[in-house]
Amino acid sequence: MTVHFPFQNTYAALPAGFFARVAPTPVASPRLIKLNRALAIHLGLDPDRLSSPEGAEILAGKRVPDGADPIAMAYAGHQFGHFVPQLGDGRAILLGEVIDADGVRRDIQLKGSGPTPFSRRGDGRAALGPVLREYIVSEAMAALGIPTTRSLAAVVTGENVMRETVLPGAVLTRVASSHIRVGTFQYFAARGDIEGVRQLADHVISRHYPEAAQAERPYHALLQGVIARQAELVARWLLVGFIHGVMNTDNSSISGETIDYGPCAFMDQYDPATVFSSIDEQGRYAYANQPRIALWNLTRLAECLLPLFSSDQDQAIAEAQTALADFAEKFDIAYQSGLRAKLGLFTARDGDPALAQDLLSAMANNQADFTLTFRRLGDAALDAAADRDIGQLFADPAAYDEWAIRWRQRISDEPQDPATRRTAMRSVNPAFIPRNHRVEAVIQAAVNGDDFSPFEELLKVLSKPYEDQPAFERYADPPEPHQRVLQTFCGT
């Protein structure tokens, strides 16, 4: 049974300095533990063939499919503010590109498929736990409607990897609109390779921002397009309580997708200073810092593009600053619009941002659960008796009750009936997120007991985050004090 990938590889056709050609390292005895059948079909792939032994070998890197042109991409990056001029794919290999059912070009990449010239003394492998975490969280993000890389498959390799301890090895097959990052531009800019920056920019315009090609100044339009997508993306992270954890420039996607789910997490209790990443000791990438860091990363991208703007550096800098100045407004529009929707408001009024912020402040001061507060608010829009259920989430229920008086006055100014409002609110306020304690329980069952049934069940629940699922109601509950996961780890 031959597995056919209709590859059309454009990145591998760029000059040799953009990547290293390298084949995946074969593994001992690959076993498919999860195939995203719906995504496979959308990519034009046959899920039955991918589920075959040959398919498992391809998804583990043991066999290279026809038409693939395996490469490890070169890039640089600022890691926690410190510039590293060469990073690159140290444990990921891009097999090639396919055109999906929507006509969108998508990368198919193996993550954990062995060392590359960019491995920097690493083994190029991945442990099972981080593979499952990325599969769960990326697919949850997709179900929430947030731009993201996707997970096509997870395979155990039959080999162990050494981290702090011996762990089962695994490979994730990741799908992305592309794997081009801010750090990819930095790689060429740091070398003074202006032509490399130009070739990369032209490739990105063709692939992700074709409208920029028609603009009077295409490279300015490219920067503006990336700024707009990043502003929208980070606003949407905040609206679901998501914390990326490592917003380095090499983890900042040019396409505007969420990429590289390492020590990521969703908040339980609302606290804007929340940090989960074990390596973020200074809180650089805390929840509330994410918009500021996104702008910092975009500023690094703008620096790379300066030579394409003008030969007059002062003029180029002024033009870049003009573009970057739009970020705050674009973020604020997306964020405030999202908050209004979460509060069930159909129109914009001057006092709405303060109303939303007052609720968030009350939540922070009273250790209220972020997801459940907003979800139950939809019920309260239908029936004021539900206020009691929300108040129970607050250390001092009166803090919510005082705010709710103002909220009810505000929604009474709009003509929508309560049922319409509740339906609208439930479409943006999820009941189910990949809570840390649930993700960790899934990982432990798989790693310690080779039991993937909790993994399957969690994926099933998270695939319908906005729907009531009475049989799985417990998945909406925040952790008990003894269940709280306070740190997440990178997994490399």
**Bridge partners for 113 per DSSP:** 125
Is residue 338 within 8 Å of residue 236, measured between CB atoms?
A: yes
Is residue 24 within 8 Å of residue 70, measured between CB atoms?
A: yes
Residue 244: both structure tokens together: 């990326």
Taking the C-alpha atoms of residue 257 and residue 260, their distance in angstroms, rounded to an integer, is: 10
**Which residues, in sequence order, are CB contacts of 283 under 8 Å at separation 6+?**
273, 275, 289
Report how far apart, in Å, the C-alpha atoms of 353 and of each of 170, 238, 287, 430 are.
45, 15, 19, 21
Residue 184: both structure tokens together: 């990819």
Nearest to 204 by CA among 72, 75, 91: 75
Taking the C-alpha atoms of residue 376 and residue 431, their distance in angstroms, rounded to an integer, is: 9
> Active-site residue numbers?
250
Taking the C-alpha atoms of residue 404 and residue 41, their distance in angstroms, rounded to an integer, is: 46
Taking the C-alpha atoms of residue 452 and residue 433, their distance in angstroms, rounded to an integer, is: 19
Residue 476: both structure tokens together: 């909406």
Taking the C-alpha atoms of residue 7 and residue 386, their distance in angstroms, rounded to an integer, is: 53
Taking the C-alpha atoms of residue 40 and residue 59, their distance in angstroms, rounded to an integer, is: 12
Q: What are phi and psi of 266, to 5 degrees?
A: -105, 140
Is residue 48 within 8 Å of residue 154, measured between CB atoms?
A: no
